[in-house]
């Protein structure tokens, strides 16, 4: 039996691909978290600005000031919508990254299982060879040993 695992290059390739998929998934998760964090910041800022606007209304606003608040709130709302789209895109990318990682991991495990079986067969072969040598040694030793005669 060949002592080296014949699929070793494939095993190493699958390990590299799985490692790369793991790194990429980590990047995707970080990007999604960052997008969600930016969305949360925008939403918090909108709440604070709206509260400021409502407080200003109770004290009286000119038409121009009221229009400026409304325009700025509309811009914040648009930024929030855009960021929500970014979060959704990022979440889809993360999902695809997870699926890719799972696929790579399954392939790696399949090749790894073959490598383990190969090693097991080699070990069995070595054990049988060692046992055969020990049996031959014991047989020779038994044949050449002086016998006691009583």
- Domain borders along the chain are 8-142
Summarize pLDDT for 3-48 with one digit per residue, the tens.
788 888 998 999 999 999 999 999 999 999 999 999 999 999 999 9
Residue for token pair 């790696």: 108
**Token reading at 59:** 């004290």
pLDDT tens track for 89-134: 999 999 999 999 999 999 999 999 999 999 999 989 889 998 888 8
Tell me how far apart the alpha carbons of residues 52 and 73 are, in angstroms, rounded to a whole number: 11
Task: For the domain covering 8-142, report its CATH number.
Answer: 1.10.287.1700
Own/partner pairs for 63-72, CB < 8 Å, 24+ apart?
A: none
Residue 106 CB neighbour total at 10 angstroms: 11
Tokens 């960052």 belong to 34
Q: Tokens representing 50?
A: 């709206």
């Amino acid at each position: 039996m060949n002592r080296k695992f014949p699929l070793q290059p494939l095993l190493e390739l699958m390990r590299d691909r799985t490692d790369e998929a793991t790194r990429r998934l980590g990047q995707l998760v970080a990007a999604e978290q960052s997008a969600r964090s930016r969305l949360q910041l925008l939403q918090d800022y909108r709440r604070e600005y709206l509260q400021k606007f409502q407080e200003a209304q109770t004290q009286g606003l000119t038409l121009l000031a009221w229009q400026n608040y409304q325009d700025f709130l509309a811009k914040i709302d648009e930024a929030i919508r855009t960021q929500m789209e970014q979060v959704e895109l990022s979440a889809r990318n993360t999902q695809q990254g997870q699926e890719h990682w799972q696929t790579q991991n399954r392939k790696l495990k399949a090749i790894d299982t073959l490598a383990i079986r190969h090693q097991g067969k080699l070990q069995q072969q070595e054990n049988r060879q060692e046992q055969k040598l020990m049996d031959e040694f014991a047989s020779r030793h038994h044949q050449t040993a002086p016998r006691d005669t009583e």
